[in-house]
Chains A and B, each alone.
Chain A
Amino acid sequence: MNDTAPARVGASARGGRDAPVLVVDGLRKRYGGEEVVRGLSFTIERGECFALLGPNGAGKTTTLRCCLGLVDPDGGSIELVGEPVPKAAREARVRVGVVPQMDNLDPDFTVRENLLVYGGYFRIPREELDRRIPRLLDFAGLAGKAQTSIRTLSGGMKRRLTLARALVNDPELLILDEPTTGLDPQARHLIWDGLRQLLKQGKTILLTTHFMDEAERLATRLAVIDRGTMIACDTPRALIDTHVEPEVVEVYGEAAREWADTRGRALARRLEVAGETAFCYATDAAPLLADLATRAGVRYLHRPANLEDLFIKLTGRELRD
């Protein structure tokens, strides 16, 4: 009990409500001979939804684990909700909620017991938990399920309960590691609605994802990281505007490659062929579309540039494992 009081004082002494929620500076982490995080720096302000975007193995999860003080970094500094990490990681985690990549609810407990027991890890008094749990279950759309066993919940319900569990301590920062991986579209939208609701209430969110639509819908700012370094960081719109041509024409089919070599490359500012699709990037797509219109039987799609284009441009098309 005594150990949380000075922590509060310390946090407000370091800047209080206006101070950044997370400051990562020059973070480095190596496993064996390989450096998986190589000098990463970013700052998250209160009320933001900050997304770490990167291919598999980019260092996203390692970065989160360092920020939570679960592994000691090899270099750099971290300040989480005003506390130095890893030194005061436990004090920091009192005011942080975490949704892990893989579900780890307690299968032997009911929905309600999961929240009760987890609240106990934060030393939240039982009466306070009794007040909070109905609200959390409402939020998660599990109001009627308090006494239900975890084993009978669907994947989406489990995710929502995991989200509710991460809120049991009313955290200042919510950290989500790939929150909707493995969910069907309906379940994903429910999670997104919940997160937007939290942002509206003024919560701060840090999430990792490799889903572009997720980042585009939720993130106020995002960082693209690859091989442990940050390659871009800004609002989604600004990133697209800076790095990618505004218009994209995708040309499909066996003839795409041949068309790209004979006509496309001359008309597009940038053109990439992947399999049987040619991606043409242009500031003005009109000449491309005019040419394609003269070719019978070629299927194509004209669309504005999006985050996926940005991501592919910055991290390349090759597979990551």
Chain B
Amino acid sequence: MMQSATLRPPRLSMRFVPVWRRNLLVWRKLAAASVLGNIADPLLYMLALGYGIGPLVGEVGGMSYVAFIGTGMVCQSAMFTSSFEGMYSAFSRMHVQRTWEAIINAPIALDDVVLAEWIWCATKAVMSTAAILVVILALGFGHTWLALWILPLGFLVGLAFGAFGLVMNALAPGYDFFTYFFTLVLTPMLLFSGVYFPVDQMPAWLATIAGALPLKHAIDIARPLMLGAIPGGILLHVAVLAAYAGAAYYVALLLTRRRLMR
């Protein structure tokens, strides 16, 4: 049973900033390895599949297959980066290094720490989004200022999946626990959200299920932007992503309070 102190609404304050900055400082020290890890994978996929399968399928959804899959990779990289940060990295800080414990002994509340971690997950999502976007633009796909709107989209995707990661973090007995999230959530998300092929290729029932996946809504925003168009139904897509993000953040906060404020 949860107590009322656990269930009270989030207390948001700007005191999260020094905690966010702490993560940034650590990241700066390890940036090279981190950037490589975040973007090497999606880039390899994009290049291999884009140039390998691209000639076989021609244009998809009004764009070359490399650009098609590249846009998908931008979104999936935001998803993986923020999920990873919310799970493994946050767990290191919370459980292994006890960094959170040190922070909440200072005049910073646990709510501030969770907020800082959440925003940090989204920040890292933006970083990897930016890195891949630069490569896509350098390769000559998507030459429109509208493509820059993919950066704030990356932030939103990061908020959603960072929050999912933080939910897992609050429940995790150890690192192995996160495998469930990869197998049960991220892999299906990756395969059925239209990263590699358009969702309408799938049977109707599967496409309907895909319609509920947050990554699909991210991709529905990203692809038109890459082509220089304002996405249709953008408000709905943003609303779905924001709803996932907000709800998951609140659950993550409750579970984290239950875990640590005892």
Contact = CB atoms under 8 A, between A and B. Distances in A.
Interface of A: 31, 68, 70-72, 90-91, 93-94, 98, 100, 102-109, 113, 117-118, 120-123, 165, 169
Given A90-B108, A90-B109, A108 B30 contact: yes
Contacts, number: 63
Interface residues of B, number: 24
Given A100-B101, A123-B18, A109 B25 contact: yes
Contacts of B208: none
Contacts of A70: 104-105, 261
A121 B98 contact: no
Main secondary structure of the interface of A (DSSP, over half): loop
B143 interface: no
Q: Name the 4 nearest CB pairs between A and B, nearest first.
A: A104-B98, A121-B106, A98-B105, A104-B102
Interface in B17-39: 18-19, 21-22, 25-26, 29-30
Nearest to A114: B102
Contact of B18 (A71, A100, A107, A121): A121
Interface of B: 3, 5, 18-19, 21-22, 25-26, 29-30, 97-99, 101-109, 261-262
User: Which of A100, A113, A120, A122 lies at the interface centre, i.e. has the most chain B CB atoms within 10 A of its CB?
Assistant: A120
A107 B26 CA distance: 10
B101 A31 contact: no
User: Which of B22, B29, B109, B261 lies at the interface centre, i.e. has the most chain A CB atoms within 10 A of its CB?
Assistant: B22
Contact of B107 (A94, A103, A107, A108): A94
B183 to A, nearest CB: 30
A106 B97 contact: yes
B63 to A, nearest CB: 41
A100 B262 contact: no
A100 B102 contact: yes
Given A106-B26, A113-B25, A121-B18, A72 B261 contact: yes
A122 B22 contact: no
A133 B39 CA distance: 38
Given A90-B107, A93-B105, A100-B105, A106 B261 contact: no
A121 B103 contact: yes
Contacts of B99: 104, 106
Contacts of B5: 72
